[in-house]
Every structure is written in C-alpha cells, then in structure tokens.
Amino acid sequence: MSNRARAAGPSSGPGYGSRPTGADVVAGSGTDRPSVPAAARVDRFLAQLVTEGRLAGWSWAMLSDRRVVHRADGGVQDLLDRRAVDAETTFRIYSMTKPIVAVAVLLLRDRGLLALEDPIQAYLPEFAATEVYVDGDGESVRTRPPRSPITLAHALTHTAGLTYGFHRAHPVDALYRAAGHDVEAPRGLALPDACRLWASLPLLFEPGTSWNYSVGYDVLGRVIEVVVGTSLGEFLDREIFGPLGMTDTGFRVPEERREFLATLYDAGSAPLRAISDVGMNVFEPGAGHFGGGGLVSTTDDYLRFMEMLLGYGAIPGGQLLHPDSVRLLVRNHLPGDRDIASFGRTMASELGFDGVGQAYGGTTQVRPSTTSARRVGDFGWGGIAGSYFWIDPRAGAGAIFMLQAFPAGQLPIRARLHQLVNDALDDRHA
C-alpha cells in the first residue's frame, strides 16, 4: 500500500462498470437501493450473524454482466470503538493474495521474462538441493533426490511437494513446525531466508505427482523479486495496484490508514474475542512481503481486480494481462482434468473438493459439485479470516465477501453465501 492518491469514485472504461457505493442497505442509512432485490437476502443473513454476536462486521458485493449490481456493508470494524464498516474499511485478505501473485507471474510470462516450465532453482539456487521425503519422522527422516525439479507451474498449482506446518497430517508438516513455520513463517524472518528454510526441508512427494496446499506462493513471490529486482510489494504496486486503482491494497497499513483496519476476531469464541494479527506483519515496515497471504485490501479495491479478470485483462485505457493469460489462469491444470479430491492430499474445507480443479491462484469447478453451490466454471479462493470471492468468467458474474473471523472454518457460511448469491443471480436473469 503506497501513498498514491485515492481513486475518486467508481471506475469506468473497459473491464469496469458503474458501481453503487458502499451503502448500508440493511439499515437503510445509505442513498443507494439494491438493484437486485434478491441480493438483500444476503444482507439480512450477514446482519443476523452480527445480531447473534457471531460476526462483528462485513462487506460484500455482487457482479452480473461484468458490473457491480449490489454492494453493501454492515456491522462494525471494532466492537469497542464501534466504527461502522464502510467503503474505507480495510481487511486482511490472507490467501486471497494468491490470485494476485498468480496474475503477477503471468504478467511476467506475457513479457517474456519467465516461463512456467522454468525450474524454481534457476531463480532460487537453494532449491537445487531440495530432496523428497521417503519415510521416518523427526531426525530419522529419510530422503532422496527428486526425479525432476520443482517448476513455477508446480508452485502455481500446489503440486510442488511443499506444505504448511498447520496441516498436521504428515511428518514433513511436523518438520515445518519444528523450524518455526506453522500458519506463518517465524516472525522477523525475511522472505529470502524463509525460502532457504523451506528449501532445506523435504518435499512431501515427487513434484507434479500430487496436490498439497502450501507455501508455493510465498516462493513465487520471491521468484518475482529476483526477476524484477524490486520487492514484491513494489512490483505489485507499480504493475497491478496502480493501473487498477487499488489504492488501499498492500502489505503494510500506513499510519494514516490504521483507523480503517478492521479488528481480527477469534471466530470460535463467544463472545467474540479480538486477537492479534496471525501470519501477518501489517504494521512492520521492514518485514517481508509474503505472496501466500500477506495483503490487506478493501472490497472496492478487490472488485477492481475481479472486474479486470471478468474483462479478460482489460483495464481503462488498455490491457493489463493478455486475454489468453486470463483463460490460462482460470482453467484446471491438474493432469487429466482431475479434481483435487482424486489427485491430492485434501484439507479441511467447508465447500469440499469434489469436482474442484486447481487453477492458478485459486480453484475452478470442473464438474457439478455434490457438496456445494459452486457452478461449473466458477473460479475463486478465500482467506483464513473469512474473506472469499469467486467469478464466473463465462457469465460475467461473481461475488466478494470481506470478514475478519479467524479461522474461517469456525464460521462455516460460505456454502450458504454462495447459494444465496446464485439465487440472486438467477432471479436477476429470470
């Protein structure tokens, strides 16, 4: 997040449509009325969670025909100071950082500065010595050299064999935790040092042979830094956030924006209990820029990113990403068009992985789901504090939800939200 002048009003031009402001349509205190009456059911559902004390505040928007047709905020940023959630409110988006980093990688690919088949060790030599887990645990772990190196494409699709310590399902997960990496890298560890740490630990499996959600996007962020010669944050600010007018998105919250940062709450506590930042250092200017989950953003900023994707890379006055690169981003990249449920080591997920393929930066529904309301072609991802988005590129539709309820699994509402939005979209086109 830089000190750029804030975007003035809604965007217009290729890839953007007219945008309602963040009116509180539930309480009726705003000046805008929802243009999709059925979308008000979502407002009421979220408002009820606030009334029940399960959620402090929320912000959301819905897109149809590639433009924002409903936008609402409710509740408060902080239960003590009672500042209302509005268009200025900033949220920790955690893993919704990953789609932005995926776009950054494809942007460099469009410019001929890297290829997705490139081995990561070509940019980060420490990964040349990384080995694959064979058996054992702790100090008795046995490893072997990989048959093929980790590529950028492997990292983009969580098929590199990297992991997170918080999975707690494999001896390698335990090695990550023993090295100080659970949800986050050890506090104060710079990104280059974190990459050297991960490279020193075994891979769960031979690259490209299975799926496991991992630190791959943090590694990709470091690759970007090596390629462009600046920090990840500087590159994103110059090449993505600036052109899109995402003035309130970044790895740090400057002093003048701190009053707008929503408080993070323990979603499993009753009453809700404020907790410190988990996995983020948003007030520490010297900390690293972690591409797996380090960004903060606003609803309107992230909408601009979604509109760019729905417009196949078009932005006002030009093209941010080649249309074919957007198509590449949102399609399934698992071998044989398989889903995650059949190809990898799945993790806890409210929406499940049935019929869900791995795209770049998020997942894509490749077959009708038996466990959620996701429709074939839906692309999106969420953050561990409850933020969640998806788009349907073919229909030009989508939705975004911004919450600060950690961890998201303690407030399992995504399936219901997805269904309510689908119903509203269907009503709009009935």
For the annotated catalytic residues, the residue numbers are: 95, 98, 213
Side by side, the strands of the sheet bearing 356-358 are: 67-75, 57-64, 397-402, 388-392, 379-382, 363-365, 356-358
Integer-rounded Cα Rg, in Å, for the chain is 21
Q: Would you call 50 helix, strand, or coil by DSSP?
A: helix
- Beta carbons of 247 and 301 less than 8 angstroms apart: yes
Output the CA–CA distances (angstroms, integers) from residue 328 to 117, 185, 376, 407, in the order listed.
14, 30, 16, 30
Q: Exposed, middle or buried: residue 143 (CB in 10 Å: 0-12, 13-18, 19+)?
A: middle
Per the CB < 8 A criterion, the answer to whether 20 and 32 are in contact is: yes
**How crowded is the C-beta side of 248, counted as CA atoms within 13 Å?**
25
Tokens of 153: 């494409």
The owner of tokens 């499940």 is 352
DSSP 380: E
> In which element (H, E) is residue 61 found?
strand 57-64
Closest by CA position to 402, among listed 111, 126, 93: 93
